[in-house]
Amino acid sequence: MRGTALVTGAGSGIGREITRELLRRGVSVVGVALGQGELDALERETAGSSATLCTLRLDLTEKDAAASVLREVDRRGLTVDTLVNCAGVGLYGEHLDLDDAAVDRMIALNVAALTSLSTAFARRMTRAGRGRILNVASTAAFQPLPRLCAYAATKHYVAAFTLGLAEELAGTGVIVSLLCPGITATPFIEGAGVGSGTPTDRLARRLAMSPEAVAVEAVDGLERGRGLVIAGRRNRAHYALTRALPERTFTRVFGRVTRAAG
């Protein structure tokens, strides 16, 4: 796999490590993120790479953000062969207690921005007769989750949209893949509102995969054209369990555990 990839959420977490892994494999990357400081640090850290990294600071929740990305890609004379939609946020807690504006922003980033970018680049890729798209969902896409209900719903959408689009584009030369990581040791946990040091926080950190390990599985799956990539043995077992248990049973158990843990 060569050419140029565009990675959203490239400033931190899984997106950052996917960017680094692609560069290690000789793929040039356009890294998109909200924080300029994160992008500057990424440029410094990858300065010796054989492939090229260029960065774009952009708030993907802004209106017409996808159009802004396309304009910048064209301005730089780049052809994007691979799109990785990794930018996303989560919110943890009783849904009625969450800040409405934060929920709206999460939906705008996790759902609207991903859809717009996938659509815009898929159109270009189908015209070219080749390309790859990797959309990042979560094991939260496997079932409804109390205390994460809006976040899980956004990831249900990502999974359904991505798998449906993959079928629509079969035979066009464009491969569409879905990545479902589980809990990962990134700033996401704290950013979602899980209290530091709480039982839920401690459990999450014990179960977390490293973002580097997730990135390796993600890029391996992307190179092999796999339609569904579930990172980690534990998460693959989780997937199998959600298929074996009634959905309502899993949801009730998760709700009781998280309420008890705080």
- Beta strands 4-8 and 82-85, pairing class: parallel
Q: Give how far Cα 50 sits from Cα of 26, 29, 41, 158, 181, Å.
A: 6, 11, 18, 32, 28
Please say if 151 is a catalytic residue. Answer: yes
Question: Following CA atoms 120, 21, 138, 125 in sequence, which dihedral angle do they give, to the nearest 10 degrees?
Answer: 20
Q: What is the CA radius of gyration of the chain?
A: 18
Determine the Cα–Cα distance for residues 188 and 168; give it in Å rounded to an integer. 32
Nearest to 93 by CA among 244, 229, 255, 234: 255
**Catalytic machinery residues:** 151
